[in-house]
Amino acid sequence: MLTHFKNYDFKQFDFDKKVVGICGLNGKGKTNLLDAIYYCCFTKSYFSSDAFNTQFDKEGFRLEAAFENSETKQHVICIHRAGLKKEFYLNDVLYDKLSEHIGLLPTVIIAPDDIEIITGNSEERRKYIDATICQLDSEYLLNLIKYNKILQHRNSHLKQEAAQGKIDESLLEILDQQLVEPAQIIYNKRIDFTAKLLPLIDRFYKQIASSDEVIQVSFESKLKNKKLEQLLIENRQKDRAIQRTSCGIHKDDLVLQLNDQPFKNIASQGQRKSLLFALKLAEYEMIKEGKRFSPLLLLDDVFEKLDDVRMKNLLDWVCNNNEGQVFITDTHKDRLVNEFTKLEINGQIIEL
């Protein structure tokens, strides 16, 4: 149930089939509807900050949703009012910390701008890794929040030192010490996680691209060769000069290569899309394995992005080999209905 959320004034939906096709012309609210589902799972929008989620001219929004699988039923309510703290309820109990909700309703989304994970800077890839591990491991999320807080503090301290022209060595040492522990925990978990994730990416890429191209995906971190304590000391002077922290787990990356070259420099559009889907399906698989049930899958305008064969492979895999509910948006109803018929999917079609 969506109230004053983006273009929705008030609207209720029932998604009672395993595969749900959402169709409507551009601007009808397909992406916004997926985002409302995403919101209920992650306590935030995938696309925009809360200031942009409230319907224009309204004071706030409300989302309410019931999630049900064979074992449990969860009821979520989110109330956001301008200027007030967001209220998020699970089964009528208000969350103290929103982070406690993450992972309860595991979800994977694939949206058009996600191609940035392949072509954009390392921040996009860290977000991808974090979003996946956070859903599986609450300790990871807590340490990430802690690390980012201390990092922010350290960076503003470096700026302040520069502005005041005074050095406070002891405070910097304390901040460095505080950074080390959460950084090590996050680093260890990223190493364990990527060791399992990378072979899956490789497998899915071969499957989607139906080719033998050699892709190499590796996890890179400066912490591989040195402890963070050491790195912070070695870079202290540099950090003071640039007024921010130049090394740490906030610089880790997933390095993507095709035939030994940076992937984004040489890959075609089709190859990029194949790799994006490989990353996302690997995420799906990791979550499914960790949770022992399939996450929700939100596919925004994926028909625009893949050719017929790849699309058929993908849909067949997600709809017919998994238990989880799948939501697919498309501007063309006929195309959705056709795909469903071809794959013998008994899906639900919602027209906006």
Positions touching ligand ADP (CB under 6 A) are 6-7, 24, 26-32, 52, 54-56
CB of 76 to ligand ADP, least distance (A): 20
Q: What does 26 interact with, of ligand ADP, Mg ion, none (CB < 5 to 8 A by kind)?
A: ligand ADP
φ, ψ dihedrals at 22, nearest 5°: -115, 115
Contact yes or no for 206/251 (Cβ under 8 A): no
Nearer to ligand ADP, 30 or 80 (CB): 30
Q: Which residues contact 134 (CB under 8 A, 6 or more apart)?
A: 102, 103, 140, 141, 144
Q: Strands, E, within 191-315: which ranges?
A: 215-220, 253-258, 261-262, 296-299
Nearer to ligand ADP, 58 or 196 (CB): 58
309: three-class secondary structure by DSSP: helix
Nearer to Mg ion, 293 or 303 (CB): 303
What tokens were used for 295?
Answer: 């996450």
Nearer to Mg ion, 31 or 53 (CB): 31
Contact yes or no for 47/35 (Cβ under 8 A): yes
User: Which of 241, 237, 76 minimizes the C-alpha distance to 162?
Assistant: 241
Q: What does 56 interact with, of ligand ADP, Mg ion, none (CB < 5 to 8 A by kind)?
A: ligand ADP
User: Which of 289, 321, 307, 294 minimizes the C-alpha distance to 108?
Assistant: 294
Q: What does 52 interact with, of Mg ion, ligand ADP, none (CB < 5 to 8 A by kind)?
A: ligand ADP
Q: Whole-angstrom Cα distance, residue 54 to residue 190? A: 35
Nearer to ligand ADP, 45 or 184 (CB): 45
CB of 345 to ligand ADP, least distance (A): 22
Sheet containing 8-11: which strands, arranged edge to edge? 8-11, 2-5, 60-68, 73-81, 87-90, 93-94
CB of 4 to ligand ADP, least distance (A): 8
How much helix, strand and coil, in percent to the nearest 5, is found in the chain?
A: 50, 20, 30
Q: What does 32 interact with, of Mg ion, ligand ADP, none (CB < 5 to 8 A by kind)?
A: ligand ADP
CB of 299 to Mg ion, least distance (A): 11
CB of 301 to Mg ion, least distance (A): 6
Nearer to ligand ADP, 24 or 120 (CB): 24
CB of 279 to Mg ion, least distance (A): 21
Q: What does 4 interact with, of ligand ADP, Mg ion, none (CB < 5 to 8 A by kind)?
A: none
CB of 30 to Mg ion, least distance (A): 5
Question: What number of other Cβ atoms are within 10 A of residue 45's Cβ?
Answer: 17
Which residues lie near Mg ion (CB under 5 A)? 30-31
Place of tokens 């990378």: 198
Q: What does 273 interact with, of ligand ADP, Mg ion, none (CB < 5 to 8 A by kind)?
A: none
Nearer to ligand ADP, 6 or 44 (CB): 6
